[in-house]
Amino acid sequence: MTKRQIAAFRQTMHKVCFPAAVICILFLQGLWPVHAAAQAGADPVALEFPSQYFSENLPTPELTGYFPSEWKTYGSTSGRNAVFDVPDSAPAVLKDGVEWVFAGAGAIPLNGPPLDGDFKVTAYTIGMPVGVSVAQGILYAGDDNGYTYALNAIDGKMIWAHYGWNMNMSNPLVDGDRVIVSTGNAYFNYEKTMAYVKGKPTVRGPGLNSIYALDRTTGKELWTFHTPGEIMPTPVDVDGFLYVGTGDGHVYKLDVATGKLAWKTDIQSFVSMSSPVAGDGNIFLGGTYPNYFYALDQRSGVIAWKTTIPGLVATGISDCTPAYASGIVVQEATIESGDPKNPVANVLLAMDAKTGKILWQHRMHNGPVPPAMKTATPMIDAGIVYEGSPVSGNYHAFDLKTGKQLWTTHLGSQIRAGAAVVNGVAYVPYHSGDIAAIRTSDGKLLGKKHVGGSFGPSSPVIVGGTLYVSNVFGWVNAIPLHQILTAKDVK
């Protein structure tokens, strides 16, 4: 069967049953062993939603030490710059960069249209919108079809896949031999929808919402903790405890080894996609209805401070994942612009991490209301804040302490991802399916590689000479950096 035939078959099968499509495709490509299907046949649930493990695809021990050993927060660091150098002594394959693609269950062609012509439907059905994690030679990716995938970071071969019964929009965390995954969805039932429309506190996320630990190398489930509302954000792992905000208006603290609850705090606001960041003994995240940005004491769970700004739109402060550096926490929000033709604008806020005082803010250009997530992920590196706008399609650089705007580059399409900055270049994926290479000294566009599909808030990861990124169309790409820098798509 040709690659084109397999792609067409995959596109047809996702409409019937994503997991079944995976089994069929793996049979066709010789990746799904007959004995695994036979074992699953003893359990009808396992047959419908199989957990798969291929130990032969584990990375070789001599390469794993060149990768980060853990992944404890969204984007790996509090500044969200997921870049990991390799030494000159590293194998050439790591320094030069590897190239491969992986299609999740139900993935659609990168050069084709989105499902039903709608990028939001695509992201919520078969997309990997939030980005990947890489640790000890293994790449982990969450998929909105319910699966978490573990892939060999060198060749892209699947090591295991675990089905979690709900959308997986988080960065899987890696702590020792555990991978931490959270699941949930952005929906309301009728009763909760009416409360949401009336501006009342409500619970978002019907279905099985959970946070669970998996064995790092096999994908075997170790423990599970369920909540009434969605857990779409990525937790933060600090000193053996997990912190995360949920769709039921609480922030939870769990023991990473056991999943046991240490405390939970009622903040009333439901948390959308605001993955918390830790700093100065606090946990920071945004919430919706009421619309506030919160700081909670790590030890007690007491709300240390909260702040807001006028004119916030819907989940405009709760969709953004904050970044932290040097006693400053940075968050983007979406506000009403007052212009009927261009009704919203993004605002970047820099706050004192201890007091919540707004140190500076920058309002970006007005524009149309973007679908789904309305904010971009800020990234801080070497005292510079890098931030995009899904409203204007501009990418910006600001001085972290003063807020002075250093440069602006117009990319012309919605930007929700953070950047990865290495060797004076910021690599930024964005909605049009492109990855831009921008010179950090002056904002000059150096290169632009068209990958296809679409990128949501999928901040990239760079290890050595390779950029890893996930796609709304259900793919993971490994791309050598030099291909982006030398791409001829620059206009």
pLDDT in tens, 208-239: 999 999 999 999 999 999 999 999 999 999 99
Q: What local confidence, expressed as pLDDT, does residue 370 receive?
A: 82
The pLDDT-based confidence of 20 (bands split at 50, 70, 90) is very low
Of 35, 50, 65, which residue constitutes the final position of a domain?
50
Please report, rounded to a whole number, the percentage of residues in the chain having pLDDT higher than 90: 82
Q: What local confidence, expressed as pLDDT, does residue 3 receive?
A: 42
- Within this chain, do residues 220 and 347 fall inside the same structural domain, yes or no? yes
Q: What local confidence, expressed as pLDDT, does residue 200 receive?
A: 77
Task: Answer for the pair 348, 362: CB distance below 8 angstroms, yes or no.
Answer: yes
- Within this chain, do residues 4 and 150 fall inside the same structural domain, yes or no? no
pLDDT at 9 over 50: no
Q: Is residue 490 part of a domain?
A: no
- Within this chain, do residues 71 and 135 fall inside the same structural domain, yes or no? yes
SS3 for 115? helix
pLDDT, mean of residues 131-159 = 97
Neighbours of 81 (CB within 10 A): 24
The pLDDT-based confidence of 23 (bands split at 50, 70, 90) is very low
**Residue 97 phi, psi (nearest 5):** 100, 145
pLDDT in tens, 180-189: 999 999 998 8
Residue 46: in which H helix or E strand, if any?
Answer: helix 44-48
Q: What local confidence, expressed as pLDDT, does residue 372 receive?
A: 67
Q: What local confidence, expressed as pLDDT, does residue 10 receive?
A: 39
pLDDT at 458 over 60: yes
Q: Is residue 221 part of a domain?
A: yes
- Within this chain, do residues 37 and 81 fall inside the same structural domain, yes or no? no
Q: Is residue 427 part of a domain?
A: yes
Q: What local confidence, expressed as pLDDT, does residue 490 receive?
A: 52
Q: What local confidence, expressed as pLDDT, does residue 298 receive?
A: 98
Neighbours of 439 (CB within 10 A): 15
Q: Is residue 116 part of a domain?
A: yes
Note the helical H segments in 41-118.
44-48, 61-64, 92-96
pLDDT, mean of residues 236-243 = 98
- Within this chain, do residues 307 and 415 fall inside the same structural domain, yes or no? yes
- Within this chain, do residues 245 and 327 fall inside the same structural domain, yes or no? yes
- Within this chain, do residues 332 and 419 fall inside the same structural domain, yes or no? yes
- Within this chain, do residues 472 and 368 fall inside the same structural domain, yes or no? yes
Q: Is residue 34 part of a domain?
A: yes
- Within this chain, do residues 252 and 394 fall inside the same structural domain, yes or no? yes
Q: What local confidence, expressed as pLDDT, does residue 48 receive?
A: 56
CATH assignment of the domain containing 362:
2.130.10.10
Q: What local confidence, expressed as pLDDT, does residue 195 receive?
A: 80
pLDDT in tens, 396-420: 999 999 999 999 999 999 999 999 9
SS3 for 453? coil
The pLDDT-based confidence of 443 (bands split at 50, 70, 90) is very high
pLDDT at 371 over 80: no
pLDDT, mean of residues 157-179 = 96
Q: Is residue 429 part of a domain?
A: yes
Please report, rounded to a whole number, the percentage of residues in the chain having pLDDT higher than 70: 89
- Within this chain, do residues 31 and 114 fall inside the same structural domain, yes or no? no
Domain with 79, as residue range(s), is 51-485
- Within this chain, do residues 32 and 66 fall inside the same structural domain, yes or no? no
Q: Is residue 179 part of a domain?
A: yes
The tally of domains found in the chain comes to 2
The pLDDT-based confidence of 194 (bands split at 50, 70, 90) is confident
Average pLDDT, the chain: 89
Burial tier of 41 (Cβ tally within 10 Å: 0-12, 13-18, 19+): exposed
pLDDT in tens, 328-362: 999 999 999 999 999 999 999 999 999 999 999 99
- Within this chain, do residues 320 and 174 fall inside the same structural domain, yes or no? yes
pLDDT in tens, 52-73: 899 999 999 999 999 999 999 9
Neighbours of 389 (CB within 10 A): 27
pLDDT at 18 over 50: no
pLDDT, mean of residues 365-391 = 91
pLDDT at 387 over 90: yes
Alpha-carbon separation of residue 244 from 237, 247, 427, 457 (angstroms) = 9, 10, 28, 18
At 237, list the tokens: 């792992």
pLDDT, mean of residues 364-377 = 86
pLDDT, mean of residues 279-283 = 97
Task: Answer for the pair 253, 234: CB distance below 8 angstroms, yes or no.
Answer: no
pLDDT at 34 over 70: no
The pLDDT-based confidence of 373 (bands split at 50, 70, 90) is low
Q: Is residue 411 part of a domain?
A: yes
pLDDT, mean of residues 238-266 = 98
